[in-house]
Amino acid sequence: MSTLTLARIYERQGHTADAIAIYSQLLKEEPRNSTLLKAIERLKGKNMQKVSFFTAMNTKDQFREFEKWLVKPWS
């Protein structure tokens, strides 16, 4: 069952792709829902920032920061 609540939970947990999928499904049912559209745009923008950073890493300091992020305790 895809709901706005589940999409928000996925988003908060960092499951961006799952959240986008649910928001997109809900948007098909409610094409004029600006909240859903904004959520999709926000998450896609965050994904692109992460991809850009990851692909542009080229210094030891950047790799160290990335390693710190990887081992960061998520709660």
Q: DSSP letter at 51?
A: H
Domain residue ranges of the chain, discontinuous segments joined by +: 4-71
How far is 22 from 33, CA to CA, in rounded Å?
13
| pTM score over 0.75 | no
**Residue-wise pLDDT tens digits, 8-44:** 999 999 888 899 999 999 999 999 999 999 999 888 8
Contact, 40 vs 24, CB < 8 A? yes
